[in-house]
Amino acid sequence: MVTEQFVLMQGDTGVEEFYFIPDLILFFISPSFPDIEILKDYRKMYPNCIITGCSTAGEVEDISVHQSSIVVTAVKFEDSKVVYNEVYLPSPDESTSAGIELIDKFDRDGLKHVYVISEGINLNGSNLVEGLRHHSSNNFSITGGLAADGFTFKNTFVLTNNLTYISNVIVGIGFYGEKLKVGYGTLDGFNSLGVDRIITKSKGNIVYEIDGEAASDLIQRLVGALTTRESDILTLLPLSVREKVTDSPVIRSITSVNKDDGSITFSGNIKEGSYVRLMKSNIDRLINAAEGAAEVSIEPIGNTHTDLAIITSCVGRRKVLKELVEEEIEAVRDVIGEDATIAGFYSYGEISPQISSDICELQNQSIVVTTFSESDIE
Protein backbone atom coordinates (compact mmCIF):
# COMPACT_ATOMS: atom_id res chain seq x y z
CA MET A 1 0.00 0.00 0.00
CA VAL A 2 1.23 3.47 -0.89
CA THR A 3 -0.35 6.76 0.16
CA GLU A 4 0.03 10.46 -0.49
CA GLN A 5 -1.67 13.43 1.13
CA PHE A 6 -2.29 17.09 0.27
CA VAL A 7 -4.08 19.96 2.01
CA LEU A 8 -6.07 22.42 -0.11
CA MET A 9 -6.64 25.81 1.50
CA GLN A 10 -8.96 28.66 0.62
CA GLY A 11 -7.64 30.40 -2.49
CA ASP A 12 -5.96 27.32 -3.96
CA THR A 13 -6.94 27.02 -7.61
CA GLY A 14 -4.99 24.00 -8.83
CA VAL A 15 -4.44 20.42 -7.78
CA GLU A 16 -1.27 18.42 -7.38
CA GLU A 17 -0.90 15.15 -9.23
CA PHE A 18 -0.10 12.06 -7.17
CA TYR A 19 3.02 10.08 -7.97
CA PHE A 20 0.87 6.97 -8.48
CA ILE A 21 -2.59 6.17 -9.83
CA PRO A 22 -4.77 5.78 -6.71
CA ASP A 23 -7.54 3.27 -6.09
CA LEU A 24 -9.17 5.51 -3.49
CA ILE A 25 -9.15 9.23 -2.72
CA LEU A 26 -10.70 10.47 0.52
CA PHE A 27 -11.75 14.12 0.80
CA PHE A 28 -12.47 15.50 4.26
CA ILE A 29 -13.96 18.90 3.60
CA SER A 30 -14.59 22.00 5.68
CA PRO A 31 -18.22 23.17 5.23
CA SER A 32 -16.78 26.64 4.53
CA PHE A 33 -14.87 25.26 1.53
CA PRO A 34 -17.51 23.55 -0.64
CA ASP A 35 -15.71 24.16 -3.96
CA ILE A 36 -16.72 21.22 -6.10
CA GLU A 37 -14.85 22.53 -9.16
CA ILE A 38 -11.41 21.88 -7.72
CA LEU A 39 -12.41 18.25 -7.08
CA LYS A 40 -13.41 17.73 -10.69
CA ASP A 41 -9.77 18.00 -11.67
CA TYR A 42 -9.05 14.87 -9.64
CA ARG A 43 -11.80 12.99 -11.46
CA LYS A 44 -10.35 14.03 -14.81
CA MET A 45 -6.89 12.80 -13.80
CA TYR A 46 -8.14 9.58 -12.19
CA PRO A 47 -11.38 8.55 -13.93
CA ASN A 48 -11.43 5.02 -12.48
CA CYS A 49 -10.62 5.93 -8.87
CA ILE A 50 -13.16 5.81 -6.04
CA ILE A 51 -13.66 9.33 -4.71
CA THR A 52 -15.68 10.04 -1.57
CA GLY A 53 -15.66 11.99 1.70
CA CYS A 54 -17.79 14.39 3.73
CA SER A 55 -18.15 17.71 5.50
CA THR A 56 -16.45 17.93 8.88
CA ALA A 57 -15.96 19.74 12.17
CA GLY A 58 -12.21 19.61 11.55
CA GLU A 59 -9.99 17.87 9.01
CA VAL A 60 -7.14 15.60 10.14
CA GLU A 61 -3.89 15.50 8.17
CA ASP A 62 -0.91 13.78 9.77
CA ILE A 63 -0.86 15.24 13.30
CA SER A 64 -2.53 18.52 12.27
CA VAL A 65 -6.20 19.45 12.64
CA HIS A 66 -7.31 21.97 10.02
CA GLN A 67 -10.37 24.09 9.42
CA SER A 68 -11.42 25.82 6.19
CA SER A 69 -9.49 23.21 4.23
CA ILE A 70 -9.85 20.04 2.20
CA VAL A 71 -7.56 17.19 3.26
CA VAL A 72 -6.95 14.92 0.28
CA THR A 73 -5.63 11.41 0.92
CA ALA A 74 -4.87 9.02 -1.94
CA VAL A 75 -4.36 5.28 -1.47
CA LYS A 76 -3.00 2.67 -3.88
CA PHE A 77 -3.34 -0.95 -2.78
CA GLU A 78 -0.85 -3.65 -3.67
CA ASP A 79 -3.08 -6.73 -3.64
CA SER A 80 -6.36 -5.52 -2.15
CA LYS A 81 -9.53 -4.19 -3.74
CA VAL A 82 -11.89 -1.39 -2.73
CA VAL A 83 -15.58 -1.23 -3.67
CA TYR A 84 -17.91 1.77 -3.38
CA ASN A 85 -21.65 1.67 -2.65
CA GLU A 86 -24.18 4.29 -1.60
CA VAL A 87 -27.82 4.45 -0.53
CA TYR A 88 -30.23 7.36 -0.28
CA LEU A 89 -31.87 8.09 3.07
CA PRO A 90 -35.28 9.68 2.35
CA SER A 91 -36.17 10.22 6.02
CA PRO A 92 -34.81 9.45 9.50
CA ASP A 93 -37.56 6.83 9.88
CA GLU A 94 -35.83 4.71 7.23
CA SER A 95 -32.39 4.72 8.88
CA THR A 96 -32.49 1.00 9.76
CA SER A 97 -33.53 -0.10 6.28
CA ALA A 98 -30.89 2.18 4.74
CA GLY A 99 -28.18 0.51 6.81
CA ILE A 100 -29.37 -2.96 5.78
CA GLU A 101 -29.58 -1.92 2.13
CA LEU A 102 -26.04 -0.52 2.14
CA ILE A 103 -24.43 -3.65 3.55
CA ASP A 104 -26.54 -5.88 1.26
CA LYS A 105 -24.88 -4.21 -1.73
CA PHE A 106 -21.48 -5.66 -0.85
CA ASP A 107 -20.35 -9.09 -1.99
CA ARG A 108 -19.47 -10.92 1.25
CA ASP A 109 -16.85 -13.14 -0.36
CA GLY A 110 -13.49 -11.85 0.87
CA LEU A 111 -14.94 -8.72 2.48
CA LYS A 112 -12.68 -7.62 5.35
CA HIS A 113 -14.07 -4.24 6.36
CA VAL A 114 -16.62 -1.55 5.49
CA TYR A 115 -15.91 2.08 6.31
CA VAL A 116 -19.16 4.06 6.42
CA ILE A 117 -19.60 7.80 5.85
CA SER A 118 -23.10 9.09 6.55
CA GLU A 119 -25.28 12.15 6.59
CA GLY A 120 -24.88 13.61 10.06
CA ILE A 121 -28.16 15.22 11.12
CA ASN A 122 -31.29 14.00 9.35
CA LEU A 123 -31.08 10.39 10.52
CA ASN A 124 -31.40 8.18 13.54
CA GLY A 125 -27.82 7.09 14.14
CA SER A 126 -28.73 4.16 16.40
CA ASN A 127 -31.15 2.78 13.83
CA LEU A 128 -28.62 3.21 11.04
CA VAL A 129 -26.07 1.17 12.97
CA GLU A 130 -28.73 -1.43 13.80
CA GLY A 131 -29.19 -1.84 10.06
CA LEU A 132 -25.47 -1.94 9.35
CA ARG A 133 -24.95 -4.75 11.86
CA HIS A 134 -27.91 -6.75 10.57
CA HIS A 135 -25.34 -9.13 9.09
CA SER A 136 -23.06 -9.05 12.12
CA SER A 137 -22.56 -12.82 11.95
CA ASN A 138 -20.48 -12.28 8.83
CA ASN A 139 -16.71 -12.14 9.11
CA PHE A 140 -16.13 -8.44 8.43
CA SER A 141 -15.91 -5.34 10.60
CA ILE A 142 -17.55 -1.93 10.28
CA THR A 143 -16.35 1.50 11.37
CA GLY A 144 -17.04 5.03 10.19
CA GLY A 145 -18.65 8.31 11.14
CA LEU A 146 -21.39 10.88 10.62
CA ALA A 147 -20.62 14.00 8.63
CA ALA A 148 -20.48 17.35 10.46
CA ASP A 149 -20.67 21.06 9.66
CA GLY A 150 -18.44 22.61 12.24
CA PHE A 151 -20.31 23.48 15.43
CA THR A 152 -23.52 24.62 13.70
CA PHE A 153 -25.56 21.36 13.56
CA LYS A 154 -27.57 22.59 10.58
CA ASN A 155 -26.55 20.94 7.30
CA THR A 156 -24.03 18.22 6.53
CA PHE A 157 -23.08 16.63 3.23
CA VAL A 158 -21.43 13.52 1.84
CA LEU A 159 -19.25 13.60 -1.27
CA THR A 160 -20.43 10.83 -3.58
CA ASN A 161 -18.35 9.05 -6.19
CA ASN A 162 -19.92 11.06 -9.00
CA LEU A 163 -18.65 14.25 -7.31
CA THR A 164 -21.84 15.66 -5.85
CA TYR A 165 -22.35 17.03 -2.35
CA ILE A 166 -25.52 15.38 -1.03
CA SER A 167 -27.32 15.36 2.29
CA ASN A 168 -29.40 12.28 3.12
CA VAL A 169 -26.97 9.76 1.66
CA ILE A 170 -24.85 7.01 3.21
CA VAL A 171 -21.65 5.75 1.58
CA GLY A 172 -19.77 2.53 2.24
CA ILE A 173 -16.24 1.65 1.18
CA GLY A 174 -15.64 -2.09 1.15
CA PHE A 175 -12.10 -3.46 1.55
CA TYR A 176 -11.17 -6.91 0.19
CA GLY A 177 -7.94 -8.88 0.14
CA GLU A 178 -6.22 -11.83 1.79
CA LYS A 179 -3.13 -9.78 2.55
CA LEU A 180 -5.05 -6.85 4.00
CA LYS A 181 -5.14 -6.48 7.78
CA VAL A 182 -7.64 -4.11 9.41
CA GLY A 183 -7.86 -3.10 13.07
CA TYR A 184 -9.97 -0.67 15.05
CA GLY A 185 -10.27 0.72 18.55
CA THR A 186 -12.54 3.23 20.28
CA LEU A 187 -12.51 4.93 23.68
CA ASP A 188 -13.96 8.15 25.09
CA GLY A 189 -12.20 9.27 28.30
CA PHE A 190 -15.16 11.10 29.87
CA ASN A 191 -15.86 10.96 33.62
CA SER A 192 -19.23 10.05 35.16
CA LEU A 193 -20.82 12.86 37.15
CA GLY A 194 -23.36 12.16 39.87
CA VAL A 195 -25.58 9.12 40.38
CA ASP A 196 -27.58 6.85 38.10
CA ARG A 197 -30.91 8.24 36.95
CA ILE A 198 -33.73 6.42 35.15
CA ILE A 199 -35.25 7.30 31.80
CA THR A 200 -38.95 7.34 32.64
CA LYS A 201 -40.34 8.47 29.26
CA SER A 202 -38.71 8.28 25.84
CA LYS A 203 -39.41 7.44 22.23
CA GLY A 204 -36.54 6.49 19.96
CA ASN A 205 -33.85 9.13 20.40
CA ILE A 206 -36.13 11.64 22.15
CA VAL A 207 -36.15 11.65 25.96
CA TYR A 208 -39.12 13.35 27.62
CA GLU A 209 -38.62 12.51 31.29
CA ILE A 210 -35.75 11.49 33.56
CA ASP A 211 -36.68 10.40 37.08
CA GLY A 212 -40.19 11.67 36.36
CA GLU A 213 -38.97 15.22 35.64
CA ALA A 214 -38.98 16.98 32.29
CA ALA A 215 -35.65 16.04 30.71
CA SER A 216 -34.62 19.56 29.72
CA ASP A 217 -35.45 20.93 33.19
CA LEU A 218 -33.40 18.24 34.90
CA ILE A 219 -30.38 18.62 32.61
CA GLN A 220 -30.46 22.40 32.86
CA ARG A 221 -30.60 22.17 36.64
CA LEU A 222 -27.75 19.65 36.79
CA VAL A 223 -25.46 21.59 34.48
CA GLY A 224 -26.48 25.08 35.54
CA ALA A 225 -23.46 25.39 37.78
CA LEU A 226 -21.18 24.26 34.95
CA THR A 227 -22.41 26.28 31.99
CA THR A 228 -25.24 28.56 30.88
CA ARG A 229 -24.51 28.26 27.17
CA GLU A 230 -26.75 25.88 25.24
CA SER A 231 -23.97 25.22 22.72
CA ASP A 232 -21.91 23.79 25.59
CA ILE A 233 -24.78 21.55 26.65
CA LEU A 234 -24.97 20.16 23.12
CA THR A 235 -21.28 19.33 22.78
CA LEU A 236 -19.69 19.10 26.21
CA LEU A 237 -22.12 17.33 28.54
CA PRO A 238 -23.30 13.96 27.19
CA LEU A 239 -24.95 11.07 29.02
CA SER A 240 -23.60 7.58 29.59
CA VAL A 241 -26.35 5.03 28.95
CA ARG A 242 -26.84 1.44 30.11
CA GLU A 243 -29.96 -0.54 29.36
CA LYS A 244 -29.03 -2.89 32.21
CA VAL A 245 -26.88 -2.20 35.25
CA THR A 246 -24.39 -4.83 34.08
CA ASP A 247 -24.06 -3.43 30.51
CA SER A 248 -21.02 -1.53 29.30
CA PRO A 249 -22.12 2.10 28.89
CA VAL A 250 -22.36 3.92 25.58
CA ILE A 251 -22.30 7.71 25.38
CA ARG A 252 -25.10 9.72 23.84
CA SER A 253 -24.68 13.37 22.89
CA ILE A 254 -27.47 15.94 23.03
CA THR A 255 -28.35 17.27 19.57
CA SER A 256 -31.23 19.60 20.49
CA VAL A 257 -33.34 20.80 23.42
CA ASN A 258 -37.07 21.46 23.05
CA LYS A 259 -38.07 23.89 25.76
CA ASP A 260 -41.73 23.78 24.72
CA ASP A 261 -42.33 20.15 25.68
CA GLY A 262 -39.26 19.67 27.89
CA SER A 263 -37.74 16.97 25.69
CA ILE A 264 -34.15 16.40 24.63
CA THR A 265 -33.14 14.80 21.35
CA PHE A 266 -30.02 12.63 21.45
CA SER A 267 -27.75 11.34 18.71
CA GLY A 268 -28.96 7.78 19.31
CA ASN A 269 -31.83 5.88 20.86
CA ILE A 270 -32.30 5.74 24.64
CA LYS A 271 -34.89 3.23 25.85
CA GLU A 272 -37.26 3.77 28.73
CA GLY A 273 -35.87 2.18 31.87
CA SER A 274 -32.25 2.83 30.87
CA TYR A 275 -29.76 3.99 33.48
CA VAL A 276 -28.06 7.29 32.64
CA ARG A 277 -25.41 9.51 34.15
CA LEU A 278 -24.22 12.95 33.16
CA MET A 279 -20.64 12.92 31.86
CA LYS A 280 -17.95 15.58 32.18
CA SER A 281 -14.74 15.95 30.23
CA ASN A 282 -11.18 15.57 31.44
CA ILE A 283 -8.47 16.64 29.00
CA ASP A 284 -5.83 14.17 30.17
CA ARG A 285 -8.30 11.29 30.02
CA LEU A 286 -9.38 12.27 26.48
CA ILE A 287 -5.79 12.20 25.25
CA ASN A 288 -5.09 8.93 27.05
CA ALA A 289 -8.23 7.47 25.44
CA ALA A 290 -6.85 8.33 21.98
CA GLU A 291 -3.66 6.49 22.83
CA GLY A 292 -5.62 3.52 24.13
CA ALA A 293 -7.84 3.36 21.04
CA ALA A 294 -4.75 3.35 18.82
CA GLU A 295 -3.15 0.56 20.84
CA VAL A 296 -6.24 -1.61 20.43
CA SER A 297 -6.46 -0.80 16.71
CA ILE A 298 -3.01 -2.23 15.92
CA GLU A 299 -3.50 -5.49 17.81
CA PRO A 300 -4.92 -7.33 14.74
CA ILE A 301 -2.05 -5.98 12.64
CA GLY A 302 0.51 -7.34 15.08
CA ASN A 303 4.10 -6.38 14.52
CA THR A 304 3.60 -5.51 10.87
CA HIS A 305 3.81 -2.00 9.50
CA THR A 306 0.68 0.19 9.74
CA ASP A 307 0.18 1.85 6.37
CA LEU A 308 -2.93 3.99 6.96
CA ALA A 309 -4.97 5.16 9.95
CA ILE A 310 -8.37 6.81 9.58
CA ILE A 311 -9.38 8.78 12.67
CA THR A 312 -13.02 9.58 13.39
CA SER A 313 -13.27 11.78 16.47
CA CYS A 314 -16.28 13.55 17.97
CA VAL A 315 -16.92 17.27 17.56
CA GLY A 316 -17.40 17.44 21.34
CA ARG A 317 -13.85 16.27 21.91
CA ARG A 318 -12.55 19.05 19.68
CA LYS A 319 -14.54 21.63 21.61
CA VAL A 320 -13.20 20.34 24.92
CA LEU A 321 -9.58 20.05 23.80
CA LYS A 322 -9.56 23.42 21.97
CA GLU A 323 -5.94 24.37 21.19
CA LEU A 324 -4.81 20.99 22.56
CA VAL A 325 -6.84 19.06 19.99
CA GLU A 326 -3.77 17.97 18.05
CA GLU A 327 -2.43 16.23 21.13
CA GLU A 328 -4.94 13.40 20.72
CA ILE A 329 -3.76 12.94 17.13
CA GLU A 330 -0.14 13.00 18.30
CA ALA A 331 -1.02 10.30 20.84
CA VAL A 332 -2.24 8.11 17.98
CA ARG A 333 0.93 8.85 16.00
CA ASP A 334 3.10 7.78 18.93
CA VAL A 335 1.42 4.38 18.89
CA ILE A 336 1.13 3.58 15.17
CA GLY A 337 4.57 4.85 14.18
CA GLU A 338 6.01 7.60 12.02
CA ASP A 339 5.51 5.92 8.65
CA ALA A 340 1.73 5.52 8.67
CA THR A 341 -0.43 8.10 6.91
CA ILE A 342 -3.08 9.61 9.20
CA ALA A 343 -6.32 11.04 7.78
CA GLY A 344 -9.73 11.66 9.27
CA PHE A 345 -12.35 14.08 10.48
CA TYR A 346 -14.24 15.40 13.50
CA SER A 347 -17.77 14.05 13.34
CA TYR A 348 -21.32 14.16 14.73
CA GLY A 349 -21.14 10.48 15.67
CA GLU A 350 -18.70 7.61 15.42
CA ILE A 351 -19.35 4.03 14.28
CA SER A 352 -17.36 1.21 15.84
CA PRO A 353 -17.71 -1.80 18.11
CA GLN A 354 -16.88 -1.32 21.77
CA ILE A 355 -13.44 -2.62 22.73
CA SER A 356 -15.03 -5.56 24.55
CA SER A 357 -17.34 -6.49 21.67
CA ASP A 358 -17.43 -7.24 17.94
CA ILE A 359 -20.92 -5.75 17.58
CA CYS A 360 -20.99 -2.38 15.82
CA GLU A 361 -22.37 0.52 17.90
CA LEU A 362 -23.07 4.21 17.46
CA GLN A 363 -20.51 6.05 19.60
CA ASN A 364 -20.47 9.65 20.79
CA GLN A 365 -17.72 11.76 22.36
CA SER A 366 -15.36 8.97 21.29
CA ILE A 367 -12.35 8.62 19.06
CA VAL A 368 -12.27 5.70 16.62
CA VAL A 369 -8.97 4.67 15.09
CA THR A 370 -9.17 2.33 12.06
CA THR A 371 -5.83 0.96 10.86
CA PHE A 372 -4.91 -0.75 7.59
CA SER A 373 -1.84 -2.71 6.56
CA GLU A 374 -0.71 -4.73 3.56
CA SER A 375 2.87 -4.85 4.78
CA ASP A 376 4.91 -7.78 6.06
CA ILE A 377 7.53 -5.46 7.57
CA GLU A 378 8.23 -6.14 11.24
Looking at residue 235, its pLDDT comes to: 57
Domain ranges of the chain: 2-187+284-373, 191-280
Q: Which CATH class is domain 191-280?
A: mainly beta
Looking at residue 228, its pLDDT comes to: 47
Looking at residue 359, its pLDDT comes to: 84
Residue 217's Cβ-side half-sphere holds a number of Cα atoms within 13 Å equal to 10
Low-confidence stretches of the chain (pLDDT < 70) are 34-35, 136-138, 223-236, 303, 356, 376-378
Instruction: List, in sequence order, the alpha helices (H) in the chain.
Output: 36-45, 95-104, 125-132, 215-223, 230-236, 283-297, 315-321, 325-336
Looking at residue 285, its pLDDT comes to: 92
Residue 78's Cβ-side half-sphere holds a number of Cα atoms within 13 Å equal to 12
Closest CA to 67 of 339, 370, 255, 319: 319
Distances (CA, A) of 109 to 113, 118, 178, 361: 11, 24, 11, 23
